[in-house]
Amino acid sequence: MPPRGLEPAGVALVDKPSGPSSFAIVAQIRRVTGARTGHAGTLDPFATGLLLLLSGRATKLAPALVGLDKRYLTEIDLTARTSTGDPEGEVVERHEPPAEDELERSLDRLRGEIELPVPAASAVKIGGERAYKLARRGVEVEMPVRRSTVHELEVVAYAGETVTLDLRVSSGTYVRSLAIALGGHCVSLRRTEVGPFSVEDAVAPEAFTPERLLPEAEVLERV
């Protein structure tokens, strides 16, 4: 008999809904499997889309999965910045949206290797404390700059005040930082791919069963 918590083993592809935290989804899957459960990257509560959740002995696969590129679909409000870069924050600035040619130039600057500040409402530690906790108390701090790569960035829809983008980025990229750099905030954010894994193959948390776990060998072959 395997040690307690190591079975069932495998990787779950789960389509996270907007609202609950990623850790709430991890706990939900753990209750179904009864096994130790981890993740290969979280999503903000307002965001939706693909989570890779690791069950049982497959939790050891995390190092092979956390660094995979991510693909997102995001709608950005170009008329307002918020304190968090997403719809959960307070509006801190309103302005006219950029002209289309100005927006195109801004998008060009966000393709390839970029450096942008980490959003204040993030889990990065500043002086030993999570940045989002400082932000909630109104403490202003200088956020670190993170280097990342935007491999692909395409306009899906443009409506003057909003723009919808399809982008593929390196692991650790904050899409909210890109929205802030464009003078706006994310209205919606959906993760559609993690490396070779697609949200089209994922299930809602309530539809998950242990039979949906991808075997470890199959996962390693794909990455």
Residues with a catalytic annotation lie at: 44
CA 6 to chain CA mean position, Å: 27
Instruction: Tell me the CB-side half-sphere exposure of residue 42, using CA atoms within 13 A.
Output: 13
Q: Which two tokens stand for residue 185?
A: 């905030």
Amino acid making up residue 195? G
DSSP 64-115: HHTTS-EEEEEEEETTEEESSSSTTSPEEEE-PPPPHHHHHHHHHHTSEEEE
- Inter-residue contact 102 to 65 (CB < 8 Å): no
**Alpha-carbon torsion, ordered 205, 51, 187, 108, to 10 deg:** -160
Cβ atoms of 149 and 141 closer than 8 Å: no
Nearest residue to 203 (alpha-carbon basis) of 41, 52, 63, 70: 52
